[in-house]
Chains A and B, each alone.
Chain A
Amino acid sequence: MTIRIRGLATGGLLTGALLATTSLASAETLTIATVNNGDMIRMQKLTDDFTAKNPGIELEWVTLEENVLRQRVTTDIATKGGQYDVMTIGTYEVPIWAKLGWLHELSMPADYDVDDLLPSIRDGLTADGKLYAAPFYGESSMVMYRTDLFEAAGLDMPDAPTWDFVADAARKLTDKDNELYGICLRGKAGWGENMAFLSAAANSFGAKWFDMDWNAQFDSPEWNETLTFYVNLMNDAGPPGASSNGFNENLALFQTGKCAMWIDATVAASFVSNPDDSQVADSVGFALAPDNGLGKRGNWLWAWTLGIPASSEKVEAAEKFIAWATSKAYLELVAENEGWANVPPGTRTSLYENPKYQEAAPFAAMTLSSIQAADPKNPTVDEVPYVGVQFVAIPEFQGIGTAVGQQFSAALAGQITVEQALANAQTLTEREMKRAGY
């Protein structure tokens, strides 16, 4: 059954006359919806290179904050609104949308070199051997720490630390009177906020979202261990107000020298080591996300990708654009204009083999190892029915993840106990899953 409002269509005639101008717009204008992260802003600046090489195609940008963008493009693609020709979407959306037939299968030119794309990222964008979106940049998470503080305290950060070491060091380095906090972690509720960190961390503790029969697992001892560890650590060694801190708040804290350690997205590495933005730029070290001796690390995997909605009528032009924006040549173009350190990371093997990049980006090796350490198809210690490291690639997850995130955020704020938070999370997940028909 399709839901359409034909009765009202006649009324559209009235407004139709007023719209003559918009419908006359050139057939080769691509409308591109994208996120306002730094790498995309650079892409927007380099538009001229594309239009010079492809006369007859004009680009129109819609740049929005991540959450607003997601809500806009999802509404549009689900209702077949057809407002966009190229959409920037995450690795969470791609498998779901591809399955629904909402995305156009991409056919890239021969010189594109699909095999150069990092396998762990490419896997998440492929269904039945067909590529549905091309990665623009990829990220994992890792530990960023202050080498000066570690040295002063006589601590030595290993390349692959354990949670116990991190917790220990965090407690030792905390000096609340001088506004120095041992560790800064996300606490703001949201499936892409605190739950990104906590789901990934939970994997390393052996916890999981669902068992093979899609039963929620928040009543498991592993989740209890994860959340207890997190809440205790943050109470002892975290900054005040942690329950409303997201990426930005922690970035601000770390850059102003208030955190000894911060576990977050690998893209942060280029911010914290940039002397223009960061007061601690010359004393930042990097390490893999911690593990708990169970064979899985607590790091996530994410990529922003470019896809074409099935409703687009300008597929050919859109493909040309995507091939341009995710090509090797584009990386070189950015390097030429903005330096190698600002090249969109985490998508191509050849980039990490490039000596110029390795030199310009001290965090390159650690970023690559982090990305390779994540396996979206086998995210946790046990076998699970879902794909995704820090998310579960089912349509219901955004809502459930955010609601669970609110409970965990309340536990961090001390409003409820860890046990209560887990019990609430269990009940609400069961409720939503039952409704969704699992």
Chain B
Amino acid sequence: MATLHTKAAARAMMSPAVILLLIWMAVPLAMTLYFSFLRYNLLMPGMEEYTGFLNYEFFLTDPAFPIALANTLMLVGGVLLITVVGGVFLAILLDQPFWGQGIVRLLAIAPFFVMPTVSALVWKNMLMHPVNGLFAWIARSFGAEPVDWLSSMPLFSIIIIVAWAWLPFATLIILTALQSLDSDQKEAAEMDGAGPVSIFLHITLPHLARALTVVILIETIFLLSVFAEILVTTSGGPGNASTNIAYLIYTQALLQFDVGTASAGGVVAVILANIVAIFLIRMIGKNLET
């Protein structure tokens, strides 16, 4: 149906976005690539020289690197698990009629509007702090020993903080999908004597497949570069227990001002992110076909 005329028009309409993104991607990436082969530290001007793959070697042989890689994957995986499962549950709940449903929905989506730095500060000092925090107070009221969240399970604590912020996003998308579910289908199944569990498994869940795919894809993109929450709460520690790749690059780029190694780290991170993306698209991309 597309005529030659519309094809040309389509290309013309697409080109600004494509060209801009090409520049946006290519220029910094090219510079990053260039820097990654230099010995270049902002604090030691005048000493820049070509070093080959030394920066890559230095970044990849850092004992913290494999830990950071594992932490990055755990962080993404953990948050996805909580937000997807919690999001489905919450969406189903919010889809039921009950008193004050509109207000509860407003309360539940509110975390999405909070800046990452603010939420990390609040969680760390007002909620999770083992002495002054509210959780510690609750634990003590029940006579239990307060949990020292950020030292004894740093990564898990960060997963909770990040998941709290992203749960509303997942819920909203799943809720939208849920509301488009044909209730005739459900009623027919109920007539046939299907229980709520089997309705959920055989009708609701397949219907949500696309929505879940979208949630996973978008969240992964953002979660791969989680950074502010880690900086504010644990500074990547204790040890390297909560260091992810983005934070590891930060220590090179902004603590050491070692632009060379940070650039090498950036290139490595892009490669890793693309591997994850390809993997994701292979795994769930078919859900996106129309």
Contacts and interface: CB of A to CB of B under 8 A. Distances in A.
Contact of B150 (A75, A241, A427): A241
Nearest to B64: A403
Nearest to A435: B58
Given A240-B131, A258-B131, 4 more contacts: A244-B151, A253-B131, A405-B237, A406-B240
Contacts of A406: 235-240, 243
Contact of B31 (A5, A252, A396, A409): A5
B94 interface: no
Nearest to A184: B131
Given A78-B42, A395-B43, A241 B238 contact: no
Given A100-B45, A406-B238, A410-B239, A240 B255 contact: no
Contacts of B129: 241, 249
Interface residues of B, number: 44
A398 B240 contact: no
Contacts of A239: 130-131
B150 A395 contact: no
B41 interface: yes
Contacts of B146: 240
Contacts of A435: 58
A189 B130 contact: no
Contact of B237 (A75, A189, A252, A399): A189
B152 interface: yes
Interface string A238-266: 01111110001100110010100000000
Contact of B239 (A1, A5, A253, A416): A416
Interface string B227-250: 000000111111111010000000
A274 B117 CA distance: 29
B237 A410 contact: yes
A337 B35 CA distance: 51
Contacts, number: 113
A407 B236 CA distance: 11
Interface residues of A, number: 47
Interface of B: 27, 31, 35, 40-46, 48-49, 58, 63-64, 124-125, 129-132, 146, 148-152, 233-241, 243, 251-252, 254-258
A23 interface: no
A395 B132 contact: no
B239 A409 contact: yes
Given A241-B150, A406-B238, A428 B63 contact: yes
A246 to B, nearest CB: 9
A188 B235 contact: yes
B40 A3 contact: yes
A26 interface: no
A8 B28 CA distance: 12
A82 B48 CA distance: 22
A78 B45 contact: yes
Interface string A99-137: 010000000000000000000000000000000000000
A412 B132 contact: no
B238 A243 contact: yes
Interface in A263-296: none
